[in-house]
Amino acid sequence: MFGNRITLFKLFGFAVRVDMSWVVLAVLVTWSLAKGWFPYTLKETYPDIFYWLMGAAGAIGLFASIIFHELSHSLIAKKYGLSISGITLFIFGGVAEMEDQPESAKIEFLTAAAGPVSSLVLALALYVINTIGAAGQWPASITAVIGYLVTLNVLLALFNLVPAFPLDGGRILRAALWWWRDNLRWATRIAARIGSLFSLILILAGVLKVVRGDFIGGFWWIMIGMFMKRAADMSYQQVIMTRALQGEPVGRFMCLNPVTVPPHITIRELIENYVYRYHYKMFPVVEGERLAGCISTRQVKELPREAWESTPVSAVMEQCSAENCIQQEADATKALARMSQRGVSRLMVVSGDRLLGMVTLKDLLQLLSLKIELEDNER
């Protein structure tokens, strides 16, 4: 889902990224504001360039509104000790990337509610500013942009409050069900089913719109519906996986004695004697007893071929970090989440600066399928 994304800046310690699909949205929003919304809402006519500038301002406002919404989720989540790796804006809005599942229904509720509440508060604040502006005879172009942002933030809050998981409203519903029956799996299953149903209704409504001749509107509904369907199904699968892997420490199924690389060998030696021989993409770099870092084909690719002969592994290796290491007592679900987030298939299991073993996606998935086969008989 997050293919090409670039990090824009950091805000309160959260990296704000945009998916390349957001560029498409920015252009679409600017265009539809400049050609549709503003010429329609403004009473007087202005030169074209005016509408384009207002459209761009509206698109920037949309961008800021979504960041504000996601940031509110992230700040509340952080307050309760959930780690958020960043905020990514993609074509349909934003996602605060949460690494952990909330620990209690109350935390889930507060984290989910923070977004829509903050959007409504922002809408109210902008409305007050606009009222002041109207009284103070501000130019109509400015009040029109602010007016658009009021509507936008109200819509953002309302759409997110639809009780369809993984939308905020669905999370609130899940929190309520979770609190009621004290069963997170069941609560997620119900919330995800409603989410799936809602997305099917959206797709169907979109198709109807297209049939009636509203191609652009219908197309949006279909796209949003498809996106939500995927997200709802994925969150349901996540429940099954969590159910099977939760409480299993990584250390239980790591492979011991992994192949390690000494830091002084050259990249050419690494490729000839390790990569081509063992077919792994990543090797831990160990010096004596100490884990120094890791080297992956990613770093090798960034190096020009001529430098392979002269560059030692230690010069280009990646330092140990929370991205490539995991503690042996950490939950297996955490390893899985980290792998999917970073797009890697191997993590080093560490204790202090010692390498204990490796945990691989393949092993995790194999264990997962065995566990589901043997233990999943509960409806």
Binding site for Zn ion (CB under 5 A): 115, 160, 168
Smaller CB distance to Zn ion: residue 164 or 241?
164
CB of 9 to Zn ion, least distance (A): 20
Nearest-approach distance from CB 131 to Zn ion, in angstroms: 27
- Minimum gap (Å) between residue 73 Cβ and Zn ion: 5
Q: Which is nearer to Zn ion, 85 or 160 (CB)?
A: 160
How far apart are the C-alpha atoms of 148 and 268, rounded to whole Å?
A: 59
CA 125 to chain centre: 28
Residue of 209, 112, 207, 125 whose CA lies nearest to 162 = 112
Nearer Cβ to Zn ion, position 92 or 274? 92
Number of Cβ atoms within 10 Å of the Cβ of 82: 20
Q: Which is nearer to Zn ion, 167 or 285 (CB)?
A: 167
The count of C-alpha atoms lying within 13 angstroms of the C-alpha of 144, restricted to the half-sphere facing its C-beta, is: 23
- Tell me the C-alpha distance between 167 and 216, whole Å: 23
State how beta strands 346-351 and 354-360 pair.
Answer: antiparallel
Minimum gap (Å) between residue 55 Cβ and Zn ion = 25
Closest CB to Zn ion among residues 176, 265: 176
CB of 321: closest distance to Zn ion in angstroms?
Answer: 29
- Whole-number Å distance between alpha carbons of 167 and 237: 16
Instruction: Report the relative pairing of strands 84-90 and 93-98 from DSSP bridges.
Output: antiparallel
Whichever of 57 and 67 has its CB closer to Zn ion, that residue is 67
Phi-psi domain of 89 (left: phi exceeds 0; alpha: psi -120 through 50; beta: other): beta
Contact predicate 7/15, CB 8 Å: yes
Cβ 115 to Zn ion shortest distance, Å: 3
Q: How far is the CB of 206 from Zn ion (least distance, A)?
A: 22
361 exposed, middle or buried (CB, 10 Å; 0-12, 13-18, 19+)?
middle
* Residue-wise DSSP of 80-133: TT--EEEEEEETTEEEEEESS--SSHHHHHHHHHHHHHHHHHHHHHHHHHHHHH
For Zn ion, the closer of residues 97 and 168 by Cβ is 168
Nearest-CB residue to Zn ion? 115
